[in-house]
Amino acid sequence: MPVRDTVTPATERPDAATLIGDVATRLREAGSESPRLDAELLVGHAFGRDRAWLHAHPDASLSASDAAALAGWVDRRVAGEPIAYIRGFKEWFSLRIATDHRALIPRPETELLASTAIGEISARLIRDNDPIRAWEVGTGSGAVVLAVALRFGTAAALSRVHLAASDISAEALELAAENLAAHGAAGLVALACGDLLEPPALPGGSVDLLIANLPYLTTEEAAAGVGSLAWEPRDALDGGRDGLDLLRRLVSHLPERLAPGGAALLEIGAGQAAAVRELAEALPIRVAVTVLPDLAGIERVVRVERR
Ligand SMILES: C[S@@+](CC[C@H](N)C(=O)[O-])C[C@H]1O[C@@H](n2cnc3c(N)ncnc32)[C@H](O)[C@@H]1O
């Protein structure tokens, strides 16, 4: 297979278009569901360029060492490793989020959680003079809190917004810290390690906005390890027998930790909206619950406002 050949003279090395075809064929034979896209991403990565550049330069050829690196990445992809771990980053919410085995790869549907949090903080900044305390629980790679921090950098510097993020995984928090630092946002977010709302991530008892994409797969789904799930940390996926263990515990703490007028934004899995609404409406506080669909029309974020 040409991409394995590291000693071929430059004039005989396959061009980009041929490489893409060869890699796509190998990935297709290995059972990939998106062989062409994966091939373009890996070949593009080998050139240090994006897919648009590849299409504009079908005749380009790789150096021998870059071709050898590509061959290694293709082997890893054939073994099932997600592209985001192989490349070391994921394009998400127009950001380059560093990704590795320490945390879940941010999903496209989670952009709704980030954009809803941003909308929520914007509305509160316009409406209120009081500082806004926002906390992302289970931050993983830090993608969501990073998107929020970049949008409200000035407000954070002026102490109009206080941002915190926490995770039970110290490794994930390391990655979150690296992502914040890579975007110049390290000073904007207080990071803390611990179970759900236990870490003293923000001073004071209650917060105005809780943001959470906690594990919500069932133990069975997490254990089945379909696709990237086999490579991602189990603690980032497993939500217990019905997938709702973490959400159930978080919701039970809202009376102590959500300020009056505050809101919790909870990402959920398909089909979980009714159960999470029921949990929130059973709390001994007055709440208004709304459910937001993602771009695929799947109920994805439950918003619980404390009246
Ligand atoms: C589904 S991942 C989401 C990561 C990231 N927020 C995102 O949207 O890409 C869930 C995260 O919750 C964390 N987590 C799991 N159990 C937790 C707990 N009891 N307390 C705090 N974080 C927890 C995991 O370590 C993981 O980083």
* Domain residue limits, the chain: 2-80, 108-306
Q: Give the integer Cα–Cα distance in Å for 210 and 57.
A: 46
Residue 24 reports pLDDT greater than 60: yes
CA 238–ligand 1 middle distance (angstroms): 10
- Phi, psi (5° rounding) for residue 169? -95, 115
Tell me the best of 146, 213, 221 to mutate to test the pocket of ligand 1, counting ligand atoms within 8 Å of each CB and taking the most. 213
Tell me the best of 92, 235, 247, 248 to mutate to test the pocket of ligand 1, counting ligand atoms within 8 Å of each CB and taking the most. 235
Residue 201 reports pLDDT greater than 70: no
pLDDT range class, residue 54, cuts 50, 70, 90: very high
Check whether domain 108-306 has CATH 3.40.50.300, yes or no: no
C-alpha distance from residue 94 to each of 41, 103, 129, 268 (Å): 16, 19, 30, 23
pLDDT digits (tens, 9 = 90+) for 107-130: 999 999 999 999 999 999 999 999
Q: Give the integer Cα–Cα distance in Å for 121 and 55.
A: 40
For the ranges 8-12, 36-40, 91-95, 120-124, which has the lowest average pLDDT?
Answer: 8-12
CA 305–ligand 1 middle distance (angstroms): 22
Q: What pLDDT score was predicted for residue 259?
A: 96
The helix/strand/coil state of 300 is strand
CA 51–ligand 1 middle distance (angstroms): 31
C-alpha distance from residue 37 to each of 1, 20, 54, 268, 270 (Å): 19, 9, 12, 28, 26
Assign domain 2-80 to its CATH superfamily: Ubiquitin-associated (UBA) domain (1.10.8.10)
Domain 2-80 shares a fold with domain 108-306: no
Q: What pLDDT score was predicted for residue 12?
A: 73
For residue 216, give the ligand 1 atom closest to its CA: 1
Q: What pLDDT score was predicted for residue 186?
A: 95
Residue 89 reports pLDDT greater than 80: yes
pLDDT range class, residue 10, cuts 50, 70, 90: low
For residue 105, give the ligand 1 atom closest to its CA: 9
pTM given for the model: 0.94
Length of the chain: 307
CA 13–ligand 1 middle distance (angstroms): 45
Kindly report the average pLDDT of the chain as a whole number. 94
pLDDT range class, residue 269, cuts 50, 70, 90: very high
Residues within 6 Å of ligand 1 by CB: 103-104, 106, 110, 137-141, 143-144, 167-169, 172, 195-196, 213-215, 235-236, 246
| Amino acid occupying residue 246 | L
Nearest protein CA to atom 4 of ligand 1, as residue = 140
